Structure 1
Amino acid sequence: MVIAEFVIVPLGEKSLSRYVAEVVKLLDRKGVKYQLTPMATIIEAPTVEDVLKIVAEAHELMFKLGAERVSTTVRIDDRRDKERHMEDKVKSVMEKVRGG
């Protein structure tokens, strides 16, 4: 499973919550597993191509919502030696925090 973090910013906007809400609705419609954070959105998808397609669709959505300029940043974690999910990465760290 590919894990990706992305940030989409419609430049010139003071408040982004309405834009983020529309991206979340898009992810829900597509059945994409995601985690919303205060600064980014993290998703899981089977392939890098799937991730890029989803992010591109979210990027284009900003223009449909009226943005004139959009900046998008993506970070991808593509691990091929074993299947990992978002919660696995967090669990691994928390086990170490607790001394496990």
Structure 2
Amino acid sequence: MVIVEFVIVPLGEKSLSRYVAEVIKLLERKGVKYQLTPMATIIETKTVREAFDIIEEAHELMFKLGAERVSTTIRIDDRRDKDRHMEDKVKSVLEKVGEVR
């Protein structure tokens, strides 16, 4: 699995929640596993190409919603030696936190 964090910002907007909501609706229509965080959205896809296609569609959606300028940042975790999921990464850290206490 590829885990991809992305942030899409329609520049010049004071509130982004309506834009983020439309991206989430897009992800749900596509059946993409996602995690919404206060600062970004994380998706899990089979390939980097699949992630790029989804993020490109979300990026273009901002223009359809009326944005005149959009900035998109992408961070990719592509691990090929194990089939890891978002929950696995969080669980691993939480287990180690428990070991420390």
Superposition TM-score, scaled by structure 1 size: 0.99
Structure 1 residue 18, shift from structure 2 partner:
0.1
Specify the SS of the correspondent of 2:49: helix
**How do 1:23-62 residues align onto structure 2 when only pairs under 5 Å count?**
23-62=23-62
User: Gapped runs of 5+ residues in structure 1?
Assistant: none
Q: How much is the aligned-residue C-alpha RMSD, in angstroms?
A: 0.8
Residue 75 of structure 1 is matched in structure 2 by: 75
- Once the 2 structures are TM-superposed, how far is the Cα of residue 90 of structure 1 from its aligned partner? 0.1
Name the structure 1 match of 2:20.
20
SS of equivalent to 2:61: helix
Cα distance in 1, alignment partners of residues 35 and 60 from structure 2? 20
In structure 2, C-alpha distance between the alignment counterparts of 1:75 and 1:12, rounded to whole Å: 23
| TM-score (normalised: structure 2) | 0.98
| 1:28-56, Cα deviation, whole Å (9 max, x unpaired) | 00000000000000000000000000000
Specify every segment of 5 or more residues in structure 2 that has no aligned partner in the other structure, as ranges: none
Q: Secondary structure at the match of 1:99?
A: helix
- The alignment status of 1:63 with 2:63, answered yes or no, reads yes
Report the alpha carbon displacement of residue 88 of structure 1 after superposing the two structures with TM. Answer: 0.2
Give the whole-Å Cα distance in 1 for the aligned partners of 2:45 and 2:54. 9
The alpha carbon displacement at 1:16 in A equals: 0.1
Q: How many residues align?
A: 100
SS of match in other structure, 2:99: coil
